[in-house]
Chains A and B, each alone.
Chain A
Amino acid sequence: MNRKIQTLLALLVAASVVLAACGPAAEPTTAAQPTSAGDGPTVDPMAQFSPLNVSGDIITAGSSTVFPLSERMAERFRDEGFSGNITVDSIGSGAGFERFCEAGETDISNASRAINQDEVALCEAIGRTPIEFRVGTDALAIIVSQDNDFLTELTMEQLALVFSTATNWSDVDPSWPNEPILRFSPGTDSGTYDYFVEEVLDDDATLLQNSVGTQYSEDDNVLVQGVLGSPYAIGYFGYAYYQENASTLKILNINGVEPTEQSAEDGSYPLARPLFIYSDANIMLEKPQVAAFIYFYLSFVNEEILDVGYFPSSEAAFETNWENFYNALGMENPM
């Protein structure tokens, strides 16, 4: 009996020693710090932006489209060791600007459109000068099967008809086949659905809800399968997902504009919108944690953005972003 206990104890001690030895190695020794510039022996000037070296709260609010992206970046920022609180409120771009410019409550404003003159004026009235960072682009792809031989493009008006009151294709254009339209839409909880309703159906969700036999799924793959299944099917989802399946699907031009990364980014494709975050130089100087978060956001957003369902901004846009960032802090752009 005694022997048994002794052996057990010995085993326990051995196990704890092994565990203790393993412990520190398992932890991340260096939280991946954005160290793109510091290659000299001197102190890395970017260390001030490490999530480990800043504290305090960061308040962001705004667009529900940017929300999942900002939420993802905030999560990652916390994972890298940021100890303060980050709040990301999804209240819409307009309301976001109101809180940023009028009430001055937020540090960063998320927006899925550029700030307008009135809002800039409001901001300036409380001593804030909005600085714009273009973090990505959200675009919708309207897709049909490659067997579909009657569609290459739709106008916005036709698209609205197709996804609302029309039953057969011939209801939209008499020269099209007299076959029922098979509609495939993302589910009502998705931001893609909200954006489609807002942009195409003038925010009247009842139009799409009342359309006959529309199929919904939160799983884009289900939509792809459905559209592939018939030449009379049509669906929509994020452009990024279309890119992954481009070889099997046919994408439609809208209002005569071909959807490409470029036409989406410059805004000529009507179903695309830019994604921005806005801040202000004084906030960034007074609250180093805000500057650190924006630095982190700009550095890593491209690693997350496709996963969230949007696609990245061009390099030119990022050059402007970094220019704005360093200007705001009165630093020299190291790039």
Chain B
Amino acid sequence: MSQFLRLTVRKSTPNESMMAGPPNLREQNQAQKVPDLRRRPRLRDLTIQGFLFLCGFLSIFITFGIVYELGKESLLFFGNRQWSSTNKPLAADISAEQTVFEVGSSGTPLQGDANYRIEREIIHIDSINGTTLTVQRGFGGSPATAHRAGLTLEAELRPDLVEFFTGSEWAPHNGKFGILPLLNATLIVSGVAIVVAVPLGLATAVYLSEYASLRARNVLKPILEVLAGIPTVVYGFFALTFMTPLLRSIFGTDVVNIYNMASAGIVIGILILPFVSTVSEDALNAVPRSLREAAFGLGATRLETALRVVLPAAFSGIAAAIILAASRAIGETMVVAIASGAGPNFTFNPFEAAETMTGHIVRISGGDMSYNSVDYNSIFAVGLMLFVMTLILNVISQRIVRRFREVYE
């Protein structure tokens, strides 16, 4: 799923507007109402045009499809009650009328004044005395029927939006739906990645655009782009088998856990480095030569020119590059699934194991999951959250590009 999310992110690449060309010629023609001297449209051109339109339409259609599906499944999560097994069995067969009965002693303790489900029937527990329950039958329009011994009771869970955004525990099985541990881990991992990628990527971009000879640049740039072509699963094992031991040898094995957020973050930083460096370098290159020459003419050194003139002039492009890289880091899945841990953990220590949103989706959907279970529905809510985050980042980057764009003639 994150693959799709990533695709949608790329589609709205913010630097598109940087490439905006000259004003549309056809519009000018129409405005002047010149006699129609154009070549008459041919079937072949029309077909090609139609095909191109279809391609564009398809990608937009798919984006809407994904948003629709995510939204629909998330509604299932927030709008409906969920059921989770308590492992507590009925001790004996019960009839449709029976309101007092025994349950087994094992399993999750039951709560009084709460709803439970046996097969299709919802019951409301009024009071509990040891293993004896007094209940009301047939709640919520469900028919009261006879049930066999050994059937387990399912507890009712009601996820709500307030808890989703403020709860600090994520255990859907137990009715704990706070996204904060997952969100926090995602932000820490992406934060580490950005801290690694931005200085390195910017320095590389400045070197390539301001200092490197054309020959050096032609060699270095493709090599740098190879970094982006390495499969992320390889990066994942690189994090687990190289970066983690390295961190542990520096900070000590007691401080750094075997699965930890720092290691995954640093490696994701390396992974997104080419995004930062190549897009920033394009932005730097787009700064007109005349600006540099003016700076040199005023007696500025190369470094001063690069830092005081070229970098600020290319600010919008660089900001877009960084935000693009950040949304890539947030959506990155394989590295965190392998190296950053596999259990929700609300901690601000980057050397501890904690599961990110993407990692959680992967782990939960990896098992034999049944449709309409709490876990299944919860991952759509997490997915929607991810989508909203990357969408917000994209909107911000569009804003920055528009607001700070320097136009040179």
Residues of B within 8 Å of A94, CB to CB, are 150
Contact A202 B106 (CB under 8 A): yes
Contact B345 A205 (CB under 8 A): no
Residue-wise, chain A 225-255 has the 8 Å CB interface mask toward B (1 for contact) of 1101110010000000000000000000000
Contact A182 B108 (CB under 8 A): no
Contact A226 B258 (CB under 8 A): yes
Kindly state whether residue A210 has any CB partner on chain B within 8 Å.
yes
Check A215/B88 contact, CB under 8 A, given A204-B106, A204-B109, A205-B173: no
Which segment, of A13-21, A53-61, A185-193, faces chain B? A185-193
Contact B109 A225 (CB under 8 A): no
Kindly state whether residue A44 has any CB partner on chain B within 8 Å.
no
> Which residues B150-187 have CB closer than 8 A to chain A?
150, 169, 171, 173-174, 176
Contact A187 B109 (CB under 8 A): no
Contact B343 A214 (CB under 8 A): yes
Which segment, of A157-165, A216-224, A276-284, A288-296, faces chain B? A216-224
Which segment, of B37-45, B309-317, B366-374, faces chain A? B366-374
Contact A188 B173 (CB under 8 A): yes
* A28 CA to B176 CA, complexed, in Å: 54
> Which residues B61-114 have CB closer than 8 A to chain A?
85, 87-88, 105-109
Contact A202 B150 (CB under 8 A): no
Kindly state whether residue A92 has any CB partner on chain B within 8 Å.
yes
Contact A209 B173 (CB under 8 A): yes
> Which residues A49-71 have CB closer than 8 A to chain B?
none
Residues of B within 8 Å of A225, CB to CB, are 240, 258
Kindly state whether residue A42 has any CB partner on chain B within 8 Å.
no
Residues of A within 8 Å of B367, CB to CB, are 187-190, 218
Interface size on B, residues (CB 8 A): 36
Residues of B within 8 Å of A218, CB to CB, are 363, 366-367
Across the interface, B107 reaches (CB within 8 A) one of A98, A204, A228, namely A204
Across the interface, A203 reaches (CB within 8 A) one of B88, B345, B363, namely B88
Residues of B within 8 Å of A228, CB to CB, are 258
* A210 CA to B341 CA, complexed, in Å: 17
* A218 CA to B343 CA, complexed, in Å: 12
Kindly state whether residue A154 has any CB partner on chain B within 8 Å.
no
Kindly state whether residue B342 has any CB partner on chain A within 8 Å.
yes
> Which residues A75-106 have CB closer than 8 A to chain B?
92, 94-95, 98
Contact B352 A213 (CB under 8 A): yes
Check A209/B343 contact, CB under 8 A, given A198-B87, A203-B88, A204-B108: no
* A197 CA to B354 CA, complexed, in Å: 23
Kindly state whether residue B275 has any CB partner on chain A within 8 Å.
no
B35 → A minimal CB distance (Å)? 50
Other A-B pairs beyond A198-B106, A203-B107, A217-B342, 8, CB < 8 Å: A203-B87, A204-B106, A206-B173, A209-B173, A210-B176, A213-B353, A218-B366, A230-B254
B: residues with CB less than 8 A from A are: 85, 87-88, 105-109, 148-150, 169, 171, 173-174, 176, 240, 253-254, 257-259, 341-343, 345, 347, 352-354, 363, 366-369, 375
The 3 residue pairs across chains A and B that have the minimum distance between CB atoms: A229-B258, A189-B367, A203-B106
Can you report 8 A-B residue pairs in the complex whose CB atoms are below 8 A from each other?
A: A189-B369, A203-B88, A203-B108, A205-B173, A213-B345, A222-B342, A230-B257, A233-B258
